[in-house]
Structure 1
Amino acid sequence: MGPATEHPLRYALVNELHARPSPRFKAPATAVFVAFKELHDAANRDRSLDMAHLSELTNRHGGPRPDPEEHHYQGRVGRHDLKWESHTEFVTYMATNPGLPIRPFDPSAASIFSEEWQANAPGKRVAAVMVQIDLLPEDPAEVMARIGDWFARESLTVVWVLEGAALIAGDFRIDADGWMRFAVFVRPDTGEGRIGRIVHRLLELETYRAMSMLGLGRARSLSRLLNELDPRLSAIVDAMTDDNQPADKLLHELLAVSGELEAQAVQHSFRFGANTAYEAIVMDRIEALREERFLDRQMLTEFMRRRYQPAMRTVKSAEARLKTMLERATRAGELLRTRVDVERSAQNQSLLERMDRRADLQLRLQHTVEGLSVVAISYYAVGLLGYALYPLAHRSGIDKAYLIAGLTPLVVLFAWWGMRRVKRGLHSSHDRADL
């Protein structure tokens, strides 16, 4: 089959499946990991700055130059194997080196990520993890002796993973040098690829935990704002039952509250959506490790249930509360608009009734004016006809008074008949104009 039969994205989409292979480790080894995120609008950041920061690191340590068009990088940088990935909101760097430092979790193991270089990052550090991979001692008591000196007992988590292929220990605390520390003890027969997947899932677990908990601060600030808006919205709803409260004023106040709620929904929609996705990834990575209890120690699921899930429930509660208040504001707005429409309909009905009364009054006045007009026209007409016919009446011996008396009914009747004709003509012209 020729190229014409292939979808233009087929190869690119298949290659994407293999773009980020898990690293390979041979115990003992040390892995250091950092993640950087822009403080604001990280999803729309200038990604060329991320590439420039990566290039600065590879140039400083003599590594291969990255491809500006790629979203991932792997290469030998100095004495470290470097893996870089660009994600929607953040970028991650992982440097691995064979062997362990002389002192457990010595900050010198992370010398590739110098403080100067980290300070120049286009964003702030959201995760910094150091992982030590060592062979599993035969005596479990020796493991407990080691990790007892490295981690805080009250938050210590120790579990078997992948059917006992490795033992993971950590306390999810940040040490004095700013690193979160994990120890991974593997059995001698555990393959390099499997060790790499364990470490990779552990690093993803911590990274997405940190990213998902960014929403906790947003949720708390949002809850404070909702605490201020809730009484205002409740007061508006209560005032809707009071007929003495003008609906237009209430609707104006409701629009102000609704505007603030909509603005908060727009500002927080991406963060809350991302939090849901990140939380799902955290729980998926824990499930993928297939943990089992080690002695009587705390498991990852237990730690997350007690320490992590309450934070996520707080975020979800704030999101649900914002959604509920938006729905309440919408329903209140519909009721207020209905009330305003009813009041305006009543006002319009009253206005129509006043117009009808005014029209009726005008009609009566018009009839009165018509009667007066007939009298006035008749009066002048009789006077003119009296002057015109008086000579004839004098020759005929008819008294002027009798002449006036005889003309008056005839003139009045003729004036009335003429006014009726004029009125009918005006009405006929108006009806034809309407048609």
Structure 2
Amino acid sequence: MRNHVLRNEISQEVHARPFQKLYPEMGVVHVAATCDAEDRVALQDSLSKVMLENSIPLPDDLSRFFHASGETMAVRYEPHNEFYTLTLYQLDERSTGRLHPYWKNFPGAMLCGVEILFEDQSAGVPNPKDYFSNRQVSGSLVMGGAAKVWTDFYPAGEDGLVRILVQNVSLLSFQAGRLIQRLCEIETYRHTALLALPDAKAVMPQLTEMDKQLAKITHEIASSSNSQDLLTELMLLAARLEELSADTANRFSASEAYFTVLDNRITELREARIEGLQTMAQFVERRLDPARKTCRSAKERIERLSIRIARATELIRSQVDLSIEQQNQQLLSGLNDRSRRQLRLQAKLESFTIIVVTYYAFDLLERSIRNSITIDSLRDDILWWVSVSVPLIAGVLWLYVRRLLKDYGED
């Protein structure tokens, strides 16, 4: 038995993005940014430069996911379809000061960024004002009480990074890696999910206008006799809606997928409340739920409007088909009337036909008798009887013609 050509790729997929072993005290900077295809080479150059300056071994392929670590710094790079994420780890102290100059020089447009300070419980209970000023702070016990997390979800400072403070209680090294990665992904997908919000706000007025136009056309279906014009209006409306759907379908679908990932990552934190603070799940649900509903509502309104236009189009087409059938029926009725008039005309002409045939039959008999009988008296007697029998001949011919036309008359 030989190996399947995809066996190795499939087997390694579950190990493609492993969690790292992490220990306090340390600092983490995580950014997500969009990058055009022409900037990919510059992105790889920036990765190489950062890793060489910090004595971090280069992976075989810089264009795919990798995690590489040196003595004091580590780099995690993960490409996605429409953005990439870069995570820099300062392994020797609870600070991110040395990391900022590096990520700022990377190409692309920054979507979001997070700064994580990971400390040990021995540092004591932190004062939130030292990290988050006077803004409202969310905090919770996570990972079954193995760590504590505080954040204000606010992009502070010139860099616009959201600060998160993580305090270790009893985390194992791999648990710490999972926790830090989940916090980074929550911040990433919290922002990427909202990329659809501007599109949703932009299409809502257009959908309202189309909805009103469809309602107007629907009201006119029963009263208007010009179905062709209504059908043309519906076709134009359907074309506009399909254009709108084509422009936004991918964005709304991606947003729905990002919201699902966000929910999964928050659930995986296994939060427990810290008295006096709202959990991260409560903050995200309360603050993002209106935006999520707006995006979902825009997507669903496009789908419902498309279905309604299809139903209205079907109604008008049925009306047009019925009108065509009525016209065909009227045309057939006209043809039947003309056929009946022709038959009546033929019936009227039967009498003339019988007279003509009778005349020719009598003429034929008379000529035959005159040419075949030489005795005058006998010839006169026979001609007299033939003359008397003219009505009889006409009657026989009439019955014969009626018998021939009997079936046609019934049809």
Q: TM-score range by the shorter chain?
A: 0.7 to 0.9
Secondary structure at the counterpart of residue 132 of structure 1: strand
CA contact (8 A) 1:378 1:415 kept: no
Secondary structure at the counterpart of residue 32 of structure 1: strand
Determine the structure 2 residue equivalent to 1:125. Answer: 110
Name the CA shift for 1:380/1:308 in 2 (closer, same or farther; >3 Å): same
Following the alignment from structure 1 to structure 2, what is the Cα–Cα distance between the partners of residues 30 and 261? 49
Q: Which residue among 75, 79, 95 is the counterpart of 1:82?
A: 75
Determine the structure 1 residue equivalent to 2:131. Answer: 147
Determine the structure 2 residue equivalent to 1:12. Answer: 9
Q: Which residue among 109, 116, 131 is the counterpart of 2:99?
A: 109
CA positional deviation for 1:57:
2.0
Following the alignment from structure 2 to structure 1, what is the Cα–Cα distance between the partners of residues 343 and 61? 87
1:306 paired with 2:299, answer: no
Secondary structure at the counterpart of residue 89 of structure 2: strand
Determine the structure 2 residue equivalent to 1:431. Answer: none
Following the alignment from structure 1 to structure 2, what is the Cα–Cα distance between the partners of residues 407 and 69? 124
Following the alignment from structure 2 to structure 1, what is the Cα–Cα distance between the partners of residues 266 and 243? 36
Unaligned runs of 5+ in 1: 40-45, 428-435
CA positional deviation for 1:391:
10
Determine the structure 1 residue equivalent to 2:217. Answer: 236
**2:86 counterpart letter in structure 1:** Y
Secondary structure at the counterpart of residue 240 of structure 1: helix
Following the alignment from structure 2 to structure 1, what is the Cα–Cα distance between the partners of residues 104 and 166? 27
1:71 paired with 2:64, answer: yes
Written as runs of structure 1 = structure 2, the 5 A alignment for 1:192-207 is 192-207=173-188
Written as runs of structure 1 = structure 2, the 5 A alignment for 1:23-34 is 23-34=20-31
CA positional deviation for 1:228:
1.1
Following the alignment from structure 2 to structure 1, what is the Cα–Cα distance between the partners of residues 21 and 158? 27
CA contact (8 A) 2:19 2:181 kept: yes
Following the alignment from structure 1 to structure 2, what is the Cα–Cα distance between the partners of residues 69 and 130? 24
**Which has the larger displacement, 64-73 or 353-362?**
64-73
CA positional deviation for 1:379:
7.3
Secondary structure at the counterpart of residue 236 of structure 2: helix
Following the alignment from structure 1 to structure 2, what is the Cα–Cα distance between the partners of residues 50 and 416? 104
Determine the structure 2 residue equivalent to 1:287. Answer: 267
Name the CA shift for 1:111/1:8 in 2 (closer, same or farther; >3 Å): same
CA positional deviation for 1:377:
7.4
Name the CA shift for 1:262/1:358 in 2 (closer, same or farther; >3 Å): same
CA positional deviation for 1:281:
1.5
The number of residue pairs the alignment matches comes to: 399
Determine the structure 1 residue equivalent to 2:91. Answer: 98
Q: Which residue among 31, 34, 39 is the counterpart of 1:37?
A: 34
CA contact (8 A) 2:44 2:62 kept: no
Q: Which residue among 143, 149, 156 is the counterpart of 1:175?
A: 156
Name the CA shift for 1:143/1:192 in 2 (closer, same or farther; >3 Å): farther
CA contact (8 A) 1:293 1:299 kept: yes
Name the CA shift for 1:68/1:27 in 2 (closer, same or farther; >3 Å): closer
Following the alignment from structure 2 to structure 1, what is the Cα–Cα distance between the partners of residues 122 and 29? 23
CA contact (8 A) 1:58 1:77 kept: no
1:345 paired with 2:330, answer: no
1:57 paired with 2:46, answer: yes
**Which has the larger displacement, 210-219 or 249-258?**
249-258
**Which TM-score applies when normalising by structure 1?**
0.76
**2:22 counterpart letter in structure 1:** F
Structure 1 vs Structure 2: percent identity of aligned residues?
A: 26
Following the alignment from structure 2 to structure 1, what is the Cα–Cα distance between the partners of residues 168 and 72? 25
CA contact (8 A) 1:130 1:179 kept: no
CA contact (8 A) 1:186 1:195 kept: no
CA contact (8 A) 1:55 1:65 kept: no
Superposed CA offset, 1:63-85 (max 9, x none): 65554597312224896321111
CA positional deviation for 1:31:
1.6
Unaligned runs of 5+ in 2: none
**Which TM-score applies when normalising by structure 2?**
0.80
Following the alignment from structure 2 to structure 1, what is the Cα–Cα distance between the partners of residues 73 and 361? 124
1:210 paired with 2:153, answer: no
CA contact (8 A) 1:136 1:185 kept: no
Superposed CA offset, 1:218-255 (max 9, x none): 2222212211100111112212232x433333233223
Name the CA shift for 1:202/1:373 in 2 (closer, same or farther; >3 Å): same
Following the alignment from structure 1 to structure 2, what is the Cα–Cα distance between the partners of residues 263 and 369? 68
CA contact (8 A) 2:132 2:152 kept: no
Following the alignment from structure 1 to structure 2, what is the Cα–Cα distance between the partners of residues 112 and 167? 29
